[in-house]
Amino acid sequence: MNTTSADLLEQIGKAEEAFTVRRVFGEPFEKDGVIVIPAARVQGAVGGGGGEAPGGEGGTGTGFAMNTKPFGVFVLKDGEITWRPAVDANRMILGGQLIVIVALLTVRAIVKARVARELLRSRAKAA
């Protein structure tokens, strides 16, 4: 393994260290005898590569991406642990909008089918 490959592996190792349990669970805090432990959903990817050009020039590169979202909190009160999920209002609004759009398109298709059927019946009676 040459030094560029070792450097590449070292960089990937540093990026992987970012994906620790500390990213998932926040620091617990206490207020009025209640302990709260925040939790998050963490997603990420690490990658890297290297190569040599035909002229003998070589290089390596690394990259990583991380995405975190609040997931909820664990609440410890009077010796009991409960889970309180985080509510994503934007996702709820988007879901509601999609349901309304599908409902409107369905009603439109039903109305169009009924109108077409009535038109055919009235033409059949007229003939």
- 65-108 pLDDT, tens digit per residue, is 778 888 899 999 998 999 999 888 888 999 999 999 999 999 99
Structure confidence at residue 117 (pLDDT): 93
Per-residue pLDDT, 15? 67
Question: 80: which 2 tokens?
Answer: 């009991």
pLDDT of residue 1: 45
Beta strand ranges found along 1-127 (DSSP E): 29-31, 34-52, 58-77, 80-85
Q: What is the pLDDT of residue 4?
A: 61
In this prediction, residue 59 carries a pLDDT of 73
Residue 19 has a pLDDT of 66
pLDDT tens digits, residue range 35-74? 999 988 888 777 777 777 777 777 777 777 778 888 899 9
CA distance 107 to 38: 44
Task: Using the predicted structure, report yes or no on whether residue 112 has a pLDDT greater than 80.
Answer: yes
Question: What is the domain partition of the chain in residue ranges?
Answer: 1-86, 88-127
What pLDDT sits at residue 89?
85
- The alpha carbon of residue 106 and the mean position of all alpha carbons in its chain are separated, in whole angstroms, by 29
